[in-house]
Amino acid sequence: DADVTQTPRNRITKTGKRIMLECSQTKGHDRMYWYRQDPGLGLRLIYYSFDVKDINKGEISDGYSVSRQAQAKFSLSLESAIPNQTALYFCATSDPDRGGADTQYFGPGTRLTVL
């Protein structure tokens, strides 16, 4: 789904470095999310935003921060990367319909390795 893009797709960094993962969407959705995927732990929510002025913490926000620069852009930052932040990171967008359905459209993912 080219409507949701993530950069970079792969990143190797060292402990203590600050890094930023970027997400852009052309779907016109107000809602955006950052998830982390680790084997056996599923998709865990880091932060989410329901509109440009709205930022909410998920279950695992410690060590992360986000910025919603525009409706189309949502960035995730690791202020000081540590090895246990090595994971696959997904950005997603959604737009609830009148019936209450809220399909999430995921980006291709960013594989982050912290050495």
Partner 1 sequence: GENVEQHPSTLSVQEGDSAVIKCTYSDSASNYFPWYKQELGKRPQLIIDIRSNVGEKKDQRIAVTLNKTAKHFSLHITETQPEDSAVYFCATRGSTLGRLYFGRGTQLTVWP
Residues at the contact surface with partner 1, assessed by CB under 8 A: 1, 33, 40-45, 48, 56, 58-59, 90, 96, 99-104, 106-109
DSSP assignment of 33-58 equals EEEEEETTTEEEEEEEESSTT--EE-
Strands 31-38 and 42-49: antiparallel
Give me the least distance between CB of 75 and partner 1, in Å please: 19
Nearer CB in complex with partner 1: 48/64: 48
Give me the least distance between CB of 72 and partner 1, in Å please: 18
Residue with tokens 């990171």: 89
Nearer CB in complex with partner 1: 75/95: 95
Nearer CB in complex with partner 1: 1/79: 1
Give me the least distance between CB of 16 and partner 1, in Å please: 30
Task: Provide the greatest CA pair distance for the chain.
Answer: 46
The residue type of 12 is I
